[in-house]
Amino acid sequence: MLVASLMCVVCVPAVARKKEFRNVKKVVRGFSAIDTAYIEPQHFEFTAMLQTTFTYDIYELRSPGGQSITFSPDVIMKVGPYFGWRWFFLGYTFDLKNIGFSSDKRKQELDLSIYSSQIGVDFYYRRTGSDYKIRDVNLGDDTDMSGLSPLSFDGLSVGITGASLYYIFNHNRFSYPAAFSQSTCQKISCGSWMAGIGYTRNSLDLDYGKLQDAVNSYMGRTDVKLDSGMMFNSVKYYNANVSVGYGYNWVFAKNCLLNASLSAVLAYKRSKGDTNDGVDEFSFNNVNFDGVGRFGIVYNNMRWYVGASAIIHSNNYRKPRFQTNQVFGSMNIYAGYNFGKKKKYRKK
């Protein structure tokens, strides 16, 4: 009798643990639950892909006096192989312009997006280095600065680190993975609302002395001055945000999908910076609207796939003394092959 009682004491925790494991397993499976009338699940365990990635960055500074300067580096193209197993995807891309060496070791870029049926995650880390070019200049109504563009300018450095998490409401019938990770196929056109949260940290360093010297050198005189809003050493700004958006998958032909999704971002932003005159008023608390756009087109017959996708972020800060606008993102062109058919899809 005593032995039986002890056995029950031992068995109860084991049964409870087994039940908890089943519950966790059920929750995990829920993240990939789909309506197979709308979405065809992945039939293969592995994939191999070759991808070309283009990254771009446009940065505009604007003063209350009407002056504005737009900077952007040359578009960077990278090519590399990728290999995937189920949800895990690894690869590396090479900068074709600088194979074997780096023209600016401070330049670092990492963009990572994870797409499941219910939840998507974006992470981006960028340090632009100092390879910007002046693309557009407006220093006054009667000042022609068109000849200054494009001019290499190493006095600007921008950094951005951010992450966002968003939930897809109609995840059973609308598939983000079909458009951006090629792990499913959308069979019937469908859309979904989505909502998310995020956090971003930015840094901006500007050598306004070099910028003024570039203007003076081009003009051949020193009477064209930058507004005080352009004259700062550095500024750092942070934002916490919430977003809401809508995405749509259009199946315009068999195995062919076109996706477009847009999200409006309401961001609370806090900034600190140093100005040339030392006045401690270059700090502001702010609420602004930003935006995120995703676009993709893909052909996927479950064995072979080819397509292109792009993600674009737009951030802005607007206060009476200082305004910035930044647009950055990446575009991917890819082709791949799936292999290693899952057991349940093998012919018996």
Q: Tell me: the pLDDT tens digits for 220-278?
A: 666 677 777 777 777 788 889 999 999 999 999 999 999 999 999 998 887 766 555 55
* Whole-structure pTM value: 0.80
In the predicted model, what is the mean pLDDT of residues 84-88?
A: 73
- Which long-range contacts (C-beta less than 8 Å, at least 24 apart) are formed by 150-156? 151/214, 151/218, 153/71, 153/210, 153/211, 153/214, 154/130, 154/210, 155/130, 155/206, 155/207, 155/208, 155/209, 155/210, 155/211, 156/59, 156/71, 156/128, 156/130, 156/132, 156/204, 156/205, 156/206, 156/207
> Quick one: tokens of 341?
């058919």
Distance CA 225, CA 17 (A): 72
Question: What is the model's pLDDT at position 6?
Answer: 43
Question: What is the model's pLDDT at position 51?
Answer: 92
Q: Are 186 and 251 in contact (CB under 8 A)?
A: yes
Question: What is the model's pLDDT at position 167?
Answer: 94
Question: What is the model's pLDDT at position 9?
Answer: 45
